[in-house]
Chains A and B, each alone.
Chain A
């Protein structure tokens, strides 16, 4: 069974801190790994990582894919209260063409 596990499930930090969110996966046929930010309801796309693009960066957010360790991290530097959200990791399964999501990490940034 395809599985994606995120850790920690919940994280509370102060504004300005740097955080690292983890995602590990065990899937039958990996195609790509995606990170989403979910505020209120709609998951918003952040990054897609594939074998040919294992590191992505956008502003204060960056993500790395480790295909050997079957994992990925999402880093957020100089956190702001607006970064408070649930961060979802998902793996796109080749063949089945479906996204398998982790349970998410709830990040809270306190002022």
Chain B
């Protein structure tokens, strides 16, 4: 069974530029999560989807971050414009339901210059 797929794996951009990350969850997993992981810290939840509905986006900085999960499968996380402090690893995870174990993708390492 394929795991969670994310792309790109690495991204380097200049500040004020837009950037987008893509995630394909494990087949059949209804719940999808985006996490932010700063160096030396554990992941922090940005947004959780149940199918195509964002059920928890309380930690998403909505002035510059947006996300979508059209058709309840793949998801895209966007930052516009990026700031220096956005440099981090962006992890996507999925689970069969919000009660079950979350499985993580390899993440996208973003560097904003």
Q: Are A96 and B56 in contact (CB under 8 A)?
A: yes
A contacts with B: majority SS: strand
What's the count of A-B pairs with C-beta under 8 Å? 51
1/0 contact trace for A80-92 toward B, CB 8 Å? 0000000010100
Q: Are B91 and A99 in contact (CB under 8 A)?
A: no
What's the tally of chain A residues with a CB closer than 8 Å to chain B?
A: 21
Residue from A31, A43, A90, A104 with most neighbouring chain B CB atoms (10 Å): A43
Q: Are A42 and B104 in contact (CB under 8 A)?
A: yes
Residues of chain B lying within 8 A (CB to CB) of residue A45: 101-103
Q: Are B43 and A101 in contact (CB under 8 A)?
A: yes
Query: A68 at the A/B interface (Cβ < 8 Å)?
Result: no
B contacts with A: majority SS: loop
Query: B89 at the A/B interface (Cβ < 8 Å)?
Result: yes
1/0 contact trace for A35-48 toward B, CB 8 Å? 01000111111001
Q: Are B44 and A101 in contact (CB under 8 A)?
A: yes
Query: A98 at the A/B interface (Cβ < 8 Å)?
Result: yes
A89 to B101, CA, bound (A): 13
Q: A97-B48, A97-B56, A98-B48 are in contact. Are A44 and B104 (CB under 8 A)?
A: yes
Q: Are A48 and B91 in contact (CB under 8 A)?
A: no
A102 to B33, CA, bound (A): 17
Residues on B lying within 8 angstroms of A by beta carbon are: 3-4, 33, 40-45, 48, 56, 89, 91, 98-99, 101-107, 109
A-B contact pairs, 9 of them (CB 8 A): A41-B89, A42-B4, A45-B101, A98-B56, A99-B43, A101-B44, A103-B42, A104-B41, A104-B42
